[in-house]
Structure 1
Amino acid sequence: MPVAEIAPGLVRLEARIGGGKPLFQHVIMGQDAWLWFDTGIASTPDEALLDRLSWQLTARHVAVISHADVDHFGGLGRLRAAIPGLVVISHARDARWIGDLEAIMAERYLAHIDAGMDVAEARQRQLRHRAGLRVAPDIHLVGGETFDLGPAGRWRVLALPGHSPGSIGLWEESLRVALIGDAVLGWGVVDGDGRRTPPPYGSVSDYLATIATLEDLGVERLFAAHEPERSGPEIGAWLAESRAAVGEIGAAVRAAARAGVARLPDVCERVGRDLGRWPDETWPGLADAVESHRREEAPA
């Protein structure tokens, strides 16, 4: 079945992770070059990408990775096997994690082990499996670069840190369209079991600056990796919701500090219970946000 374009040369393909978590992949098909924005997990290219597009090896192909999480770069190995010569591109600040599984496991997924946040062995195996074959980025970005895809538009790289240090998006000004990966997360995304999970951000200041960046652009159509398309006033409302989430999480972290709650697992539990936004089994997902608030904000 042909895939419909949602903008000139732009297609949006839906995949699933763990049965329930939506994962949208975006491909920009230029006249002489194709840009694959993220590649999903290891199985995503075969499940949702390669068989659904009449793609051609005669074009140049680049994979631009929005950030270092396995559900965004895990398909690189399979995509490069299918498309010899695929050029892999990411922000410089996330490139090492994308190319080094042991580094991202230790520094991102298991970063809070010493603070008492255990990660089940089954979850660790799942992350490793989803990461696929190692592919290091060939080109490192800093933000501000432009991909000229002819009739498919001129897409500018947006530096959108917060969720990760090197999160990026793509912006086509004439279309007022932004692709943002996981750069903004509202009150969190739905996981593979259908549960709303807390929004993970590693820097409060960067994340709030990213929200402001998107507000200032005047985006008319916004596409995130795990969310439905938003357009018009929906965009401003969602960005405001994302900022409000940061404010409420920060207030709950400060309240926990005033109450003498210090251990990271206990603070996550306290924040999760106080806000009542997520199922209790997802509260460990607050660890990144809690630590960023404690690191960047003095208790009030």
Structure 2
Amino acid sequence: MRLGPHLSRVGNDIVAVHLIDTPDGITLIDAGLPGHWSDLRAELRAMGRDIRDIRGVVLTHGDSDHIGFAERLRLETGAPVFVHAADADRARGGDKPKLSMGPARLGPTLGFFAYGLRKGGLRTTYLTEVVEVADGDVLDLPGAPRIVSLPGHSPGSIAVHSALAKAVFVGDALTTRHVLTGREGPQPAPFTDEPEQALSSLDRLAALDATWVIPGHGAPFRGSPADAASAVRAAAA
């Protein structure tokens, strides 16, 4: 689905993958679930592009619903997969904290897990090779994505800022659709390692210049990162 001149989305408000599209190629932000591979191919065909137009994948963090087809893409095309050094082990299948689910409603929770099953969420393929990144890095990829550390959801959670796309991709630093309650609007994401740290990290998000704030779960937020951060804090209060 086309969001803007350089911006497209694969998936839906439950789990999404985003594309920065330029004449020099495509940068993927996150890799969703394994079953999003066929959705990605369909979106590329609709764009008149090919899988080998993808120059790299930037993971906002290393959780399984964000790394889905990344290893497959890397092996088939050679496109590198970038992840913050603090989440590199998680992206390779390392241990992660045992988290409580927090608030949940039966319908949305069942819908989330059913969607995950349909999209191959039980057959995660972890990364065997990643390129580690750090705060402030500007990657040599289409859209010149810049890395902004937002620890809290995980130690290596990041935002990916692209001035060309006028967007900041925030992964699970916040959500606009809580996958376990169905609540919509900017709010803290579930399954967060350190909730207080995640809220503190929003100060770094608010300083960015963008007209789109794009989470991994939920509808894109049309507005400034500062407005999105304020809304999340209000929802958490």
Fold match (TM-score > 0.5): yes
Q: CA contact under 8 A between 1:34 and 1:60: conserved in structure 2? A: yes
Query: Structure 1 vs Structure 2: percent identity of aligned residues?
Result: 24
Paired letter, 2:56: V
Give 1:189's aligned residue.
178
Q: CA contact under 8 A between 1:96 and 1:136: conserved in structure 2? A: no
Out of 27, 32, 50, the residue aligned to residue 19 of structure 2 is: 27
Q: Classify 1:39/1:198 alpha carbon distance in 2 versus 1 (closer, same or farther; 3 Å).
A: closer
Out of 70, 78, 99, the residue aligned to residue 76 of structure 1 is: 70
Give 1 or 2: higher helix fraction.
1
Give 2:219's aligned residue.
228
Give 2:50's aligned residue.
56
Give 1:261's aligned residue.
none
Structure 1 unmatched runs, 5+: 16-20, 113-122, 249-300
Q: Classify 1:88/1:146 alpha carbon distance in 2 versus 1 (closer, same or farther; 3 Å).
A: same
Give 1:90's aligned residue.
83
Q: CA contact under 8 A between 2:32 and 2:67: conserved in structure 1? A: yes
Q: Classify 1:62/1:130 alpha carbon distance in 2 versus 1 (closer, same or farther; 3 Å).
A: farther
Give 2:105's aligned residue.
none
Q: Classify 1:12/1:5 alpha carbon distance in 2 versus 1 (closer, same or farther; 3 Å).
A: same
Paired letter, 1:76: A
Structure 2 unmatched runs, 5+: 101-112
Deviations 1:185-226 (A, max 9, x none): 36x6134xx644963332245312321112122432211111
| Partner Cα distance (1:173, 1:216) in 2 | 13
Q: Classify 1:68/1:58 alpha carbon distance in 2 versus 1 (closer, same or farther; 3 Å).
A: closer
Kindly state the Cα deviation for residue 144 of structure 1 after the two structures are TM-superposed. 0.9
Give 1:239's aligned residue.
229
- Secondary structure in 1 aligned to 2:145? strand
Q: Classify 1:245/1:94 alpha carbon distance in 2 versus 1 (closer, same or farther; 3 Å).
A: same
Paired letter, 1:14: G
RMSD: 3.1
Kindly state the Cα deviation for residue 36 of structure 1 after the two structures are TM-superposed. 1.2
Q: CA contact under 8 A between 2:31 and 2:66: conserved in structure 1? A: yes
Q: Does 1:65 align with 2:62?
A: no
Give 2:5's aligned residue.
7
| Partner Cα distance (1:4, 1:229) in 2 | 12
Kindly state the Cα deviation for residue 111 of structure 1 after the two structures are TM-superposed. 5.5
* Stretch of structure 1 that moved more, 84-93 or 197-206: 197-206
Q: CA contact under 8 A between 2:17 and 2:29: conserved in structure 1? A: yes
Query: 1:150-165, aligned counterparts within 5 Å?
Result: 153-165=143-155
| Partner Cα distance (2:11, 2:99) in 1 | 30
Kindly state the Cα deviation for residue 73 of structure 1 after the two structures are TM-superposed. 0.6
Deviations 1:13-40 (A, max 9, x none): 224xxxxx62221112333342111111
Q: Classify 1:153/1:237 alpha carbon distance in 2 versus 1 (closer, same or farther; 3 Å).
A: closer
- Secondary structure in 1 aligned to 2:127? coil
Paired letter, 1:4: R
Q: Classify 1:57/1:227 alpha carbon distance in 2 versus 1 (closer, same or farther; 3 Å).
A: closer
TM-score w.r.t. length of structure 2? 0.75
